[in-house]
Chain A
Amino acid sequence: MVTIAEPVTKPGSRFRYILDRRGTLGAVFVAPAILYVLLLVGGPFLLAVYYSVSAYTIYDPSWRFVGLANFAQIVKNPVFLETLGNTFLFTFGSQLLGLILGKFGAFLLMRPFAGRKIVRALIILPWAVPIALASVAWEWMFDSLYSVINWSMIALGIINRSDAPNWLGNPHLAMLCVIIVNAWRFFPFAIVIFLAGITSVPQDIIDAATVDGAGFWRRNYQIVLPLILPIVAVGLIFGIVFTFTDLSIVYLLTNGGPVNATSVLGFRGFQVGIVSGDVSHGAAISLFMLPVLLIVVIVVLRFIRRREV
């Protein structure tokens, strides 16, 4: 058994002294994480900001400062304005659809029934599976010729083969498709978030409200919903951030088309910055995501603060 006094005389005690100081060890332990994040998130982020105000392309890597000229050029471009509109439509359309489905699904899953665990596991699938692979499956379901959706509608007599919709080829339908696929991907997450919130509401609060004569809807909207709002907000924030900035669904399903109808910010930044090699314009396009992200981060921080108080 080692005694407390012994280490002082031991060789290598200076090293041990470092590892024994709470503050020093704490700093040594957390430093690699902070370094990694600073070097590969913070650094590139500043670099992206610099690219957006310079004339950098992969063919001419010039660091020449051009001020806000890139931004001025971008906002004049009608395709970009369309892209910006699409991004909002895509994000809020799919989040709204996802929230409605999520609330409804959570409501169903709250009730105990035989096989609930299996049902929950199956409902979670879209969110667990890599979205790129799920998108490819949807692409096949929306196929212009072999679409199973069209086949079913024809079999049910809803439409004729001649006027079967070309899901990904029609601008409006293509937008609807990417929204549906994204809502499909996120609503299981919304269900789980709602469930986690609802199960955290103490039963006696609900009982007390029932005794006081509050009906089902009143209990639901005036008692449960305000109580679970913080957790729902956190979930929604994740949904918004990951949807607003995503490009994989659009890239795989529609490739931004037809005629830019489904082009979103992330996708356009990729097209301009990587495919065309115009790094500075690409960075400027990507940076248009920043205000939305900032608002979201502020909301997160406010919720975390409020929780501490």
Chain B
Amino acid sequence: MQRVVTNVAGQVGFYLAIAFFVVVTTFPFYWMLITSFKSNPDLYDVTNVPFWFNEAPTLEHFRYLFEQTLFARWLLNSLVIGLCVVAITLIVALPAGYSLARLTGRNGEALGIGIFLTYLVPPTLLFLPLSRIIANLGLQNSMWSLVLVYPTFTIPFCTWLLMGFFKALPPEIEEAAIVDGCSMFGAFVRMVIPLSLPAILTTVIFTFTLTLQEFVYALTFISSSAQKPITLGVATDLVRGDIFFWGEIMAGALIASVPVAIAYNLLLDRFITGITGGAVK
């Protein structure tokens, strides 16, 4: 009997602990959600219960966001920046990863580690010189500066990720293609790339989410509203003087976070393998 009681208590304790973690991690997102649908009188009345609607929910904040602010423009900017960075990253990292895994022999490993370590060089160490370089190139205040700079962290990360993937691919496939008369380059283009589509897709999604998460470079290089990516726009532009438009800010944060969160969750295990460099095995 006593055993049953401790068992039940253990189960309850276990689920309570799980619930605690879920509440801690998700509450800010619940807070974004509920704030973005609350009417202003409801939002700014300290006697109201804040956890639920005291007045009818409204779409007012979303309408304001799309009609009165540059929110749609920021979304578009982020999309353009993301796609350009994805293209640059793929063109550079795909052959580099392949080369380091297959073609450069023993030096490849050291070179790969060297490239990966640059992923650890933080933006806060580089933003000053980069902002001068950007100014000299005439890209100041333009979202194209981000297209130029973001590959500095996506290329190291994705090269490392792809290198790991290519190492796991059986070399017999290219060898067979070369025996059949393909050049080594031809074997890469015709055999390796089609076989790597899952890895390429992972790279695309990671690159895209990494560009969406970046904040420091965007903050440093861009001050005109029309050029801002979504994170910067939402975080800095929806404040007029001292007044925060909380409903709009939370609505914007919600729209921008949800897709990133979903994409990340889907590829989580690959990310972990990527940064720990197979330390698990």
Residue positions of A touching B, CB distance < 8 A: 1-4, 6-7, 16, 19-23, 25-30, 32-34, 36-37, 40-45, 47-48, 51, 101, 104-105, 108, 111, 113, 119, 121-138, 140-141, 143, 145-146, 148, 151, 161, 184, 188, 192-193, 196-197, 200, 230-231, 234-235, 238, 241-242, 244-248, 251-252, 265-266, 269-270, 273-274, 279, 282-283, 286-287, 289-290, 293, 296-297, 300-301, 303-304, 307-308
Residues of B within 8 A of A3 (CB): 181
| CA–CA, A295 and B199, complex, Å | 32
Interface CB pairs A-B, < 8 A, 25: A2-B181, A20-B183, A26-B102, A36-B155, A43-B129, A45-B129, A123-B21, A125-B25, A128-B263, A130-B215, A132-B231, A134-B253, A134-B257, A137-B250, A145-B46, A197-B280, A230-B279, A234-B276, A234-B277, A235-B275, A247-B216, A248-B215, A270-B219, A287-B125, A290-B125
Given contacts A48-B129, A238-B120, A273-B127, 11 further A-B contacts (CB under 8 A): A19-B184, A29-B95, A36-B152, A37-B118, A128-B263, A131-B215, A136-B234, A136-B250, A140-B35, A192-B268, A304-B113
Majority secondary structure, A binding face: helix
Partner of B122, one of A148, A184, A193, A242: A242
Are A25's CB and B184's CB within 8 A? yes
Majority secondary structure, B binding face: helix
Count, chain B residues at interface, CB 8 A: 100
Query: Which A residue sits closest to B150, measured CB to CB?
Result: A40
How many CB-defined contacts (below 8 Å) exist between A and B?
292
Are A265 and B21 also in contact (CB < 8 A) when A30-B95, A30-B96 are?
no
Partner of B213, one of A105, A113, A131, A143: A131
Are B256's CB and A130's CB within 8 A? yes
Are A245 and B125 also in contact (CB < 8 A) when A33-B96, A40-B148, A119-B18 are?
yes
Are B129's CB and A34's CB within 8 A? no
Most buried by A among B25, B103, B108, B281: B25
| B104 contacts A by Cβ under 8 Å | yes
